[in-house]
């Protein structure tokens, strides 16, 4: 009995590490407009969970279409290392686009297991989603992508990588990694750093202020990867220069 329970547990863990190709390699989905959202698994009804994920995805796409990001973050550096002194950012976008996308986009595919609900939405008239893109991959068998440590060399686009630790609820990990990728993109596109150096007899201190003021258009999430051993989630974002 104990052996059977262990096998079922291991099978559940292995299943939780499977994802459709369109989720891990989102840029391979040929669409005029598309978005992927990751939410909690259905508590009662599958259709309700998918509908909620679709609405959240449409709002996310509204932000990615055209968003103004303003704010900054302060860092304090001493001989002991670098510490964050807090961050404050505002994101302004046309939320009315959410209603437009809910009326014009369709759910193209879904993936649901015990940990999450993943929905791919897009313009059904322009999107191509073949059986190969619906194929499931065990992420533990995928080698670490090069972009995790080195951004793509592309003079036409800005890129940003975001990561997250593993939370109790898996969707929180993917959401945090995607948000961090978005903020990395904003900082890469336009940020200024000011340094105020303070020195004393005993130690040298630096205060760095990083300010961001940028408008991003047509942000795309193009790839995801999960380091199963180290329990880290990664997302790669892109926008044109």
- pLDDT value at residue 131: 94
3-state SS, one letter per residue, for 130-151:
CHHHHCEEEHHHCCCCHHHCCC
Longest dimension (CA), the chain: 68
The dihedral through the CA atoms of 22, 27, 33, 37 has a sign that is positive
User: Quick check: helix, strand or coil at residue 124?
Assistant: coil
- pLDDT value at residue 82: 64
Higher pLDDT, 87 or 81: 87
pLDDT of residue 56 exceeding 90, the answer is yes
Quick: pLDDT tens for 133-190.
999 999 988 999 999 999 999 989 999 999 999 999 999 999 999 999 999 999 888 7
**Structure letter (DSSP) for residue 214:** E
Quick: pLDDT tens for 6-47.
333 344 444 468 999 999 999 999 999 999 999 999 988 999
pLDDT-derived band of residue 81, with 50, 70 and 90 as boundaries? low
Neighbours of 181 (CB within 10 A): 26
- pLDDT value at residue 196: 47
Quick: pLDDT tens for 92-118.
999 999 999 999 999 999 999 999 999
Higher pLDDT, 54 or 79: 54
Output phi, psi for 101, to 5 deg.
-70, -35
Contact 121, 107 (CB under 8 A): yes
pTM to 2 decimal places: 0.85
- pLDDT value at residue 188: 86
- pLDDT value at residue 88: 86
Cα gap 125→58, rounded to integer Å? 17
Burial class (CB in 10 A: 0-12, 13-18, 19+), 168: exposed
- pLDDT value at residue 90: 93
Neighbours of 24 (CB within 10 A): 17
Q: 86-91: long-range contacts at Cβ-Cβ below 8 A with a sequence spacing of 24 or more?
A: 89/183, 89/212, 91/63, 91/67
pLDDT-derived band of residue 203, with 50, 70 and 90 as boundaries? low
């Amino acid at each position: 009995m104990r052996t059977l329970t262990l096998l079922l547990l291991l099978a559940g863990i292995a299943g939780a590490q499977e994802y459709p190709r369109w989720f891990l390699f989102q840029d391979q989905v040929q669409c005029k407009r598309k978005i992927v959202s990751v939410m909690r698994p259905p508590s009662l009804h599958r259709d309700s969970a998918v509908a909620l994920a679709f609405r959240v995805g449409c709002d996310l796409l509204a932000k990615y279409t055209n968003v103004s990001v303003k704010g900054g973050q302060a860092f304090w550096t001493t001989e002991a290392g670098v510490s964050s002194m807090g961050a404050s950012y505002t994101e302004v976008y046309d939320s009315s686009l959410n209603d437009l996308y809910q009326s014009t986009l369709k759910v193209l595919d879904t993936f649901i297991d015990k940990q999450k609900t993943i929905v791919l939405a897009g313009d059904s008239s322009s999107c191509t989603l073949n059986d190969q893109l619906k194929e499931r991959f065990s992420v533990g068998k995928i080698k670490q992508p090069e972009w995790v440590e080195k951004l793509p060399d592309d003079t036409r686009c800005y890129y940003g990588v975001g990561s997250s630790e593993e939370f109790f609820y898996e969707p929180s990990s993917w959401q945090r990694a995607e948000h961090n990728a978005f903020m990395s993109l904003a900082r890469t596109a336009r940020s200024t750093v000011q340094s105020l150096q303070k020195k004393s007899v005993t130690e040298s201190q630096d205060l760095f202020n990083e300010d961001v003021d940028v408008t991003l258009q047509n942000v795309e999430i193009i790839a995801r990867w999960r380091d199963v051993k180290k329990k880290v989630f990664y997302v790669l974002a892109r926008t044109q220069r």
